[in-house]
Amino acid sequence: MQDLDVRAVDVAVNELVEGEKRWGATTLPQRRDLLLKTRDLTAKHAQEWVDAAVELKKLDPSSPLVGEEWLSGPYVLANSLTALAETIDRLSKGRSPLDGAKFHDVGNQVVVDVLPTSIYDDLLLSGFSAQVWLQRGVSRAAAKADAGLAQLTPSKTGGIGVVLGAGNIMSIAPLDVLYELFAHNRVVALKLNPITDLLFPVLNKVLAPFIEVGALRILKGGAEVGGALVNHELVDHVHMTGSALTHDAIVWGVGDEAATRKSAKDPKLTKPVTSELGGVSPTIVVPGEWSDADLKFQAEHVATQRLHNGGYNCVASQALIVSSDWKQKDAFLNELRKAIAAAPARTPYYPGSDSRVATAEKQYPHAEKLGPNGGRLLIADLKASSDEPALSGEYFAPVYGVVEIPGVGADFAVDATRTANEEFAGTLGVNIIADPSDISALGDAFDEMIEKLRYGTIAVNAWTGVGFLTPTASWGAFPGHTIDDVQSGIGVVHNAWLMDRIERTVVRGPFRPSPRSVLKGEKSISPKPPWFVDNATAATTGRRLTAFAGDHNPLRLPAIFASALRG
């Protein structure tokens, strides 16, 4: 069977050679139509998609946790297809995707507002916003002129790209395919992670418009198929989502071979590689005076950042940075223990999860065992040092640590920033939790904190996962990594406005849910977000949001609000 799978690689790649010619001849209006047809198919087959994800993740079909599969699966893909179709439509009319966008300057950097972009964003994500920061030296005029990337010259194709799909979040693979097709104008061979083989039939249905035009082929198989693809002489580029270890095995080999090749700067894989590889994402809690309700809600927020999807997210928070001088530190940590313990039980579906938890137990024998069967670890006394195993490597499992550093106010902000930048592995995402009154009191010190954090997505009073769900935001590591020091990866994806030379995305959300947010003067009417692991109506809300993403029928909104308010 494996031989047949490997032979299928040759067939797929040779079909893509011909498909590249058809893709190059496909006009911008035709490409827009392909995107909209794919969005329609996403909505049509959304239930089948979610059913497959529920089966492979061993979720109870009646559990609110199924909402995770709606939101991080067909919902985000449908929204991304709509946003990308709007970009292609503007380009087809000789306009920039950034026409009408709001620009700001932060220091010597240009910043673009990417959320909200419509009245529906204002309603469904009230109080949430996002900005893309462009790299220093990019002017507003250059940003507008360069937006569109390879779609500025659609007939000039970029060869064949391989996408090695992720095994954890079901929209990653199709979203990465879209970025290859549109940002780089490459036709794509998508190799699914074997964990997601159950998605093979539905993804073929959803992505049929691109398969039929010859721009995409989807393959299954193990490491031999992946190896045959990335090393195929007709393949021009590789994009992967996974771990830095997997990246290095593909690029440099393993064991002595890898060490020899790295020292000689002689990679095993010589074609260009981009990647999204996760890391050890911190959550920084700025000390303040919080109510009991604030302590409880933000503890649930942090628990979600760790336990969403069972903890198998590249941007899952793995450690808290908290002030040892915060008077409410112990009260918050007690609420966090409760939230981690009370989060719904689920099967550890991702391969190797139990062994990684066992490794953490050996490294930290005093770790607290929380939740069902004590399967969630809390390590309450990590040193602020890259020598700590919990800060130097991603567990990709329900293991959470706490780092205490001294200070309050600006002193804490400076030290927390340094700790996150210098002692944590990776640069994919960082979360900051702070009462709006404390943000105001910090003033320039808080702004400097945002500016100096070297992460691809920074979320203030939101989880960085909101950046993943925002089609017009970028997703990827902070720029500057190389294949011999890859950390959280190279390049970005998503970015539906196809902006060039991106540095980071900054997401902001409300500190409190409605109605407390309104009573405290926050401009938000959002209730508890549906991605919270303890949201009681997440499955219903996610299903209804997905249906709305498929057709933008405003008559669907009352039912969405009714479900969300019960969460």
Q: Which amino acid is at 81?
A: L
Is residue 302, in this structure, part of any structural domain at all?
yes
Q: Is residue 504 part of a domain?
A: yes
CA distance 46 to 548: 12
| CATH code: domain of residue 197 | 3.40.605.10
Could you tell me if 538 and 140 are in contact, meaning their C-beta atoms sit under 8 angstroms apart?
no
224 and 332, same domain (yes or no):
no
Q: What is the helix (H) or strand (E) element at residue 341, kind and residue range? A: helix 329-342
Give the whole-angstrom CA distance, residue 165 versus residue 246: 12
458, part of any domain: yes
Q: Are residues 326 and 413 in the same domain?
A: yes
Asked if 333 and 464 sit in the same domain, the reply is: yes
- Contacts of residue 334, Cβ cutoff 8 Å, sequence gap at least 6: none
Q: What angle do CA 77, 81, 84 make, to 5 degrees?
A: 135
Start-to-end CA span in the chain (Å):
47
If asked whether residues 229 and 291 sit together in one domain, one would say: no
The answer to whether 241 and 176 have CB atoms below 8 angstroms apart is yes
Cα–Cα distance between 281 and 283 in angstroms, integer? Answer: 7
Is residue 34 within 8 Å of 210, Cβ to Cβ? yes
Q: Map tokens 């299903």 to a residue.
A: 543
Supply the pLDDT for residue 2: 56
In angstroms, the Cα distances linking 108 to 104, 139, 174, 413, 552 are 10, 9, 35, 22, 38
The residue type at 285? V
Same domain, 316 and 369: yes
CB contact set of 352 (below 8 Å; sequence gap of 6+): 396
Residue 119 lies in a domain: no
Q: Are residues 291 and 360 in the same domain?
A: yes
218 and 325 part of one domain? no
Res 333: pLDDT: 98
Give a yes or no: residue 556 inside a domain. Answer: no
Task: Provide the 10 A C-beta neighbour count for residue 474.
Answer: 25
Q: Name the 3-class secondary structure at 449.
A: helix
Q: Which two tokens stand for residue 299?
A: 């503890």
CATH number, position 437: 3.40.309.10
Counting the structural domains of the chain, the total is 2
Most distant CA pair in the chain, distance: 66
313 found inside a domain: yes
Q: Which residue range forms the structural domain that includes residue 478?
A: 281-519
Could you tell me if 315 and 464 are in contact, meaning their C-beta atoms sit under 8 angstroms apart?
Answer: yes
The 10s digit of each residue's pLDDT in 153-174 is 999 999 999 999 999 999 999 9
180 lies in the same domain as 313: no
Q: Which of 519, 542, 562 is the last residue of a domain?
A: 519
What's the pLDDT score for residue 6? 81
If asked whether residues 176 and 27 sit together in one domain, one would say yes
13 in Cβ contact with 232 (< 8 Å) = yes
Task: Name the amino acid, one letter, at 413.
Answer: A
List alpha helices for 114-163, DSSP H: 119-124, 140-146
Is the residue at 565 inside a domain? no
Strands 273-276 and 489-490: antiparallel
Tell whether 53 and 161 lie within a shared domain. Answer: yes
74 within a domain of the structure (yes/no): yes
Q: How far, CA to CA in Å, does 113 sit from each of 130, 199, 552?
A: 6, 34, 22
Residues 285 and 367 in one domain: yes
Name residues of the chain where pLDDT drops below 50. Answer: 1
Q: What does the alpha-carbon distance between residue 289 and residue 291 come to, in Å, rounded to a whole number?
A: 7
Q: What are the tens digits of pLDDT across the range 20-71? A: 999 999 999 999 999 999 999 999 999 999 999 999 999 999 999 999 999 9
Is 289 found in the same domain as 171? no
pLDDT at 5: 76
Distances (CA, A) of 420 to 8, 282, 403: 45, 7, 10
In sequence order, the 6+-apart residues with CB closer than 8 A to the CB of 358 are: none
